[in-house]
Structure 1
Amino acid sequence: MSFTVDVVRRRHVDLSKIQLSLRGPKKVKVGFPSGEADSDNIQKAVWNEFGTRGGASGGGWGGPVPERPFLRNAMRDNKGKYRHGMRASAAKLLTGKTSISVVLAKLGIMAQGDVQESITSLQSPPNSPTTIEIKGSSNPLIDSGEMRGAVTWKVWDGS
C-alpha cells in the first residue's frame, strides 16, 4: 500500500520578511537594569533578594535581612506564561506581522508587572516586630513603595 501527499501552500511566505523580523535585540532584562534604576533601589533589591548578614555587611537597620527572593519567585512562577506568550508571538514573527523588538517589549511589560506583584504579595519571612514598629507596616518588601515603582524592563541587544 502506498499513498501520496500533496502539500498546498495557501500563502506565500517571504523569507526576507522573516529575517528582518528576527533582527535586532535578543533579550529583555527585567528588574533594575543598569542605567535604569538608582543605586539606592538596586541596593534594597539586592539586600532583599539575597539577604544580608547584617551589622557591618549592611542591610536594614543594622540587623540581618532574610532572603526574600521576589525576582526569582516572579520568574519561576510565571515561566509558563512567558513561554505561552512567546509561542503565541511565533506565528506573527514568522509571517512578518511583528518584530522581535515588539515581542520582547510585550514580554518585558508582562514580567515587570509580575515582579511588582511579587513584591506586593510576598509575606514570608515576615518583618521583625522592631521593623514593623519603625516602618508602620508589616509588608516585608514595601516601605515607601519606591523600590516597587523602580522595577522596569529594557530590551537589550546583548552587547
Structure 2
Amino acid sequence: MRNLKQLGGKQIKVGLFGEDDSELVMIGAVHEYGTEIKVTPRMRAWFAANGYPLKKETTVIKIPERSWLRTGFDENVDKIAEKIEKLLPDVIEGNINPKLFMDAIGMEFAGLIQKKMRDLKNPPNSQMTIERKGSDNPLIDTGRLVGSIRHNVE
C-alpha cells in the first residue's frame, strides 16, 4: 500500500517545458500545429537577398502541421500502457522503487517521442529549407529540439 500511495496523484509529463527554453517551446508548437506567417517587406527582402525571391502575390508563408507530440503519444500510448501493466506488480511488491518506476516510464516515453521526431518525413521541407539546412528531415536541424524532449514527474 505504501508503494501505491507514492504513485497516487502523480503524473508523468513528456515534451518541451517552457522553463527550459521558451524559444524551443515556440518552435515545437509551430511544428506541432503549423502556422502562417505574414510576409513583411523585410522578409521579402531577406528571401530575395538569399536567392529565393517571393512572388508578389505571396502574402503568407505557411509552415505545415507536423504533429510530433500528439501523434507520438497516440502511436505509443499502448506500448507504454503495456510496460506499466508489466512493471506495476513489481512496484506493488516493493521490487521496484515507485519514483524510479515513474522516471523509467517517462524516459521511455520521451525516447519514443524523440524517435517519432526523427522518423517524421511528411509534410516534407520546402526545397529552400532542404538546401539551407542540408537535410530533408522536417524536425531535425541542429538536434537541439529533439534533444530537449524530456519528462517530468509531478
Interval of TM-score (by shorter of Structure 1 and Structure 2) = 0.7 to 0.9
Instruction: Number of aligned residue pairs: give it.
Output: 134
Task: Give 1:31's match in structure 2, choosing from 3, 15, 19.
Answer: 15
Partner residue in 1 for 2:90: 92
Q: Alignment RMSD, CA only?
A: 1.9
- 4+ runs deviating over 4 angstroms: none
Give the aligned residue type for 2:11: K
Q: Is the 8 A contact 2:106 2:153 kept in 1?
A: yes
Task: Give 2:26's match in structure 1, choosing from 29, 43, 46.
Answer: 43
Q: Aligned partners of 1:108, 1:29: CA distance in 2, in Å?
A: 7
Q: Aligned partners of 2:3, 2:142: CA distance in 1, in Å?
A: 44
Q: Is the 8 A contact 1:66 1:125 kept in 2?
A: yes
Q: So what's the TM-score if we normalise by structure 2? A: 0.79
Identical pairs, percent: 29
Deviation at 1:29, TM superposition (A): 0.8
Q: So what's the TM-score if we normalise by structure 1? A: 0.77
Higher-helix-fraction structure: 2
Task: Give 1:75's match in structure 2, choosing from 73, 76, 80.
Answer: 73
Give the aligned residue type for 1:42: V
Give the aligned residue type for 2:77: K
Residues 45-54 or 86-95, more deviating? 86-95
Deviations 1:88-134 (A, max 9, x none): 12211221222432221111110111111111110000011121122
- Computing the radius of gyration over CA atoms, which structure comes out larger, 1 or 2? 1
Describe the SS at the equivalent of 2:135: coil
Describe the SS at the equivalent of 1:23: helix
Partner residue in 1 for 2:128: 130
**1:144–1:48 distance in 2 versus 1, CA, 3 Å:** same
Higher-strand-fraction structure: 2
